[in-house]
Amino acid sequence: MTAARSAPLGVYIHWPFCKSKCPYCDFNSHVRDGVEQARWRKALLTELEHAAREAPARRVETIFFGGGTPSLMAPETVGAVIARTRQLWDTAPDVEITLEANPTSVEQAKFAALAEAGVNRVSLGVQALDPAALAFLGREHSADEALQAIDTARRHYERYSFDLIYGRPGQTPDAWSAELDRALALTGEHLSLYQLTIERGTRFFAEHARGGFVLPGEEEAAEMFERTQVRLEAAGLPAYEISNHARPGAACRHNLIYWRYQDYVGIGPGAHGRFAEGETKRATRRANGPENWLEAVERDGHGTVETSVVAGQDRVEEALMMGLRLADGIDRALFASIAGADPVEALGEAKLEPLVEAGFLTVDQAHLKATAAGRQRLNALLERLIA
């Protein structure tokens, strides 16, 4: 097999539809009364074929169905996308195929069919184990449904994960520790734990701005983060990225492709892609609106609205922004092969030395890493590095 063909590729498929819009969500998700499944299946396959022409001679290591709510897709559509991906590219024998799912009873009923379609890893949007918290977060499932969904996922998939959101109004570090203990009794190999953030354009943004609720203070939020790291480490699921924890060898391989700045293509409304073209990186973006994307694919064979080249310092900075999220940090040799420059040399001693001395970064011959303190303040750290 040639070196080009052995280059890993991730394939991301975006399903933009949800039953309802969560008040904290700023993702490209939309509520529609009905979806023409056959029409959408055909369009996804058409754009998949276009993506194979954009990034040929790759080896697909991962396929990821994100959204939106991909568990609302017809299993036939999921199976068709997986089968066509295998036809278009060389595919790893152990390809990781993840689908994001909500824990409602209606979606749980599809888990067996989705597994038969080829999905071998599921990621559940549980978000909370407390009924009042689920209501605040606008989730459509109950706490009991969440527990049932985790049990159903365990029966149908060797690999499963679920998400929780902490730093909710009124939540204390002790309450979060108790919820973590409940989660650990249910978890398998992977757990994603996100601090609630207020994003512009969401319903929570307007409610928070007018004083509708108050989030825990900075010190409380920091204590929740620190307790999370300690508790999950002790349970054998150390953080491999800021918000993601896994048993050794069980990290989400698709997300590692993003964080290592390797190649991926994006299919569906609003999906992004990044893949190498010689010494540069090509960036693509599809149309955001579901109807606009669908019409463009049926007319042109793809929904691309933007294509650009990422080169030079821009490429270094993008790779830094992704790689410093990882607990293992940036592999300097891999970074140089992908971004075209050694990260330490590109940044320079004047920027790095003060941050190393302050305990936010470590540098050795093989790696550039953000420490736990640095990852907790990553946005501020990146501002210092790429200003």
- Model confidence pTM above 0.85: yes
CB 283 within 8 Å of CB 248: no
CB 320 within 8 Å of CB 385: yes
Fold exhibited by the domain 3-257? TIM Barrel (3.20.20)
pLDDT in tens, 212-247: 999 999 999 999 999 999 999 999 999 999 999 999
Residue type, 11: V
pLDDT in tens, 127-164: 999 999 999 999 999 999 999 999 999 999 999 999 99
Q: Over its length of 387 residues, how does the chain's per-residue pLDDT go in tens digits?
A: 344 446 899 999 999 999 999 999 999 899 998 899 999 999 999 999 999 999 999 999 999 999 999 999 999 999 999 999 999 999 999 999 999 999 987 788 899 999 999 999 999 999 999 999 999 999 999 999 999 999 999 999 999 999 999 999 999 999 999 999 999 999 999 999 999 999 999 999 999 999 999 999 999 999 999 999 999 999 999 999 999 999 999 999 999 999 999 999 999 999 999 999 877 899 999 999 999 999 999 999 999 999 999 988 899 999 999 999 999 999 999 999 888 889 999 999 899 999 999 999 999 999 999 999 999 999 999 999 987
Rounded distance, CA 216 to CA 196, Å? 10
Sheet holding 244-246, edge to edge: 239-241, 244-246, 190-195, 159-166, 121-127, 90-101, 59-67, 8-15, 263-267, 272-277, 280-286, 304-310
Q: How many residues does the chain have?
A: 387
Q: Domain segments of the chain: what residues?
A: 3-257, 329-387
61: left (phi over 0), alpha (psi -120 to 50) or beta: alpha
Residue type, 38: A
